C-alpha cells in the first residue's frame, strides 16, 4: 500500500501541480521578457474567474467531449504514474487528444476546424516518436511496465541519449510552444480547437493543459530510472529548455513542423532503437 501512496498523491494533486508549473512558467517567461508578469497563482485565479462566467455551450456533445478530454488525459496520467503499460498510456493519451479534435470538428467555426486539423497533424508529428521511445524502453528493460522502469538501476538516459533528445524535440509540439505552437496560433486561428468552449466547460480544457505538463515531465523522469536526483535534474533542465526555446524562436508552419519531427526527432529515436537492437 505504501508503494502506491506517492503515485496516488501525485495523481490526485496533478491538476494543482500542473497549475503551479504553468504559473511558474509564466513568471519565468515574464522575467525572460523583462516584464513584471502575473503572480505564481494566476492560473488558479483564472480558474476561479472562469467558474463565475455564464455557461454557454455549442451543443451537448461538444461540451461532453471537452470534459472527457480532461478525464481521459487524467486517466492516462494515472496509469503512467501507477506503473502501468506504456503502450496503454500512449493509447489513452492519443484518445484524449482525439476527443478534443472531435470537439473541434463538431462546431461550425472555421477556426475551430483549423485548430482541429492542426492538432491532428501535431499528433502525426509526435506520436510515432513516442512509440519508438516506448519500444526502445522495452528493448532495454524487457517490459512496457513503467513501474519496472522507475526501479531500473541504470538510468535509461545512458543507453537512450538520442531518444531523450528526440523527446526534447517533440515536447514543444505536445505542449504547443514555439516554434511548434501551430495548433493554437492566436494570430492565425485565435486559439484553435478550444475556441468555442466557455465557462465551466472551458475550465476542463484549460485544466487539461496543466495535466499535460505533469504527463510530459513524467515521461522525462522515466529516463532517470531509479535515480531520483537525476530525474529531478532532467525535469529542471527540460523546463528551462522549453521556456528558453519558446521565448527565442518564431513559429514555423505545420508542414515544417511535420518534416522536422519525422525527419529529425523520429530519425534520432529510430537510430537509438537500432543501436539498442544491435548491441
Q: Which of 1-15, 46-60, 210-224 has the highest mean pLDDT?
A: 210-224
- Exposure string of 243-263, with b = 16+ CB inside 10 Å and e = fewer, is bebbeeeebbebeebbebbee
Please count the other Cβ atoms lying within 10 Å of the Cβ belonging to residue 225.
Answer: 22
Residue 1 clears pLDDT 70, i.e. is over it? no
For residue 12, give the H/E element and its range: helix 5-32
Length of the chain: 279
CA distances 250 to 173, 247, 264, Å, are: 13, 8, 19
Q: How many Å separate Cα 97 from the centre of its chain?
A: 10
Give the model's pLDDT for residue 161. Answer: 96
Sorted by sequence, the CB contacts under 8 Å of residue 260 that are 6+ apart come out as 169, 252
Give the pLDDT confidence of 64-123 residue by residue, as tens digits: 999 999 999 999 999 999 999 999 999 999 999 999 999 999 988 888 888 899 999 999
What would you report as the CA-atom Rg of the chain, rounded to the nearest whole angstrom?
18
CA nearest to 96, candidates 116, 64, 73: 73
Q: Grade residue 2 by pLDDT with cuts at 50, 70 and 90.
A: low
Listed by start position, the domains of the chain span 2-278
Write out pLDDT tens, residues 183-230: 877 666 566 788 888 878 888 899 999 999 999 999 999 999 999 999
Asked if pLDDT for residue 275 goes beyond 80, the answer is yes
Amino acid at each position: 500500500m505504501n508503494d502506491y501512496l506517492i503515485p496516488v498523491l501525485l495523481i490526485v494533486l496533478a491538476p494543482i501541480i500542473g497549475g503551479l508549473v504553468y504559473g511558474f512558467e509564466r513568471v519565468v517567461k515574464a522575467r525572460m521578457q523583462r516584464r513584471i508578469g502575473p503572480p505564481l497563482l494566476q492560473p488558479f485565479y483564472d480558474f476561479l474567474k472562469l467558474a463565475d462566467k455564464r455557461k454557454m455551450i455549442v451543443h451537448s456533445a461538444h461540451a461532453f467531449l471537452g470534459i472527457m478530454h480532461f478525464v481521459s488525459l487524467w486517466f492516462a496520467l494515472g496509469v503512467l504514474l501507477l506503473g502501468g503499460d506504456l503502450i496503454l498510456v500512449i493509447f489513452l493519451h492519443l484518445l484524449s487528444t482525439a476527443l478534443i479534435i472531435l470537439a473541434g470538428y463538431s462546431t461550425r467555426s472555421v477556426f475551430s476546424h483549423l485548430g482541429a486539423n492542426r492538432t491532428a497533424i501535431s499528433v502525426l508529428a509526435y506520436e510515432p516518436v513516442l512509440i519508438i521511445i516506448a519500444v526502445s524502453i522495452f528493448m532495454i528493460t524487457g517490459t512496457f511496465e513503467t513501474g519496472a522502469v522507475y526501479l531500473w538501476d541504470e538510468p535509461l538516459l545512458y543507453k537512450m541519449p538520442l531518444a531523450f533528445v528526440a523527446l526534447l524535440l517533440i515536447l514543444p509540439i505536445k505542449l504547443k510552444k514555439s516554434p511548434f505552437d501551430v495548433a493554437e496560433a492566436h494570430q492565425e486561428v485565435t486559439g484553435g480547437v478550444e475556441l468555442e468552449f466557455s465557462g465551466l466547460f472551458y475550465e476542463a480544457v484549460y485544466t487539461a493543459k496543466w495535466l499535460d505538463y505533469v504527463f510530459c515531465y513524467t515521461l522525462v523522469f522515466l529516463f532517470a530510472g531509479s535515480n531520483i536526483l537525476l530525474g529531478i535534474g532532467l525535469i529542471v533542465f527540460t523546463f528551462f529548455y522549453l521556456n528558453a526555446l519558446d521565448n527565442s524562436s518564431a513559429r514555423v508552419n505545420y508542414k515544417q513542423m511535420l518534416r522536422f519531427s519525422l525527419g529529425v526527432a523520429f530519425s534520432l529515436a529510430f537510430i537509438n532503437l537500432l543501436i539498442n537492437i544491435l548491441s
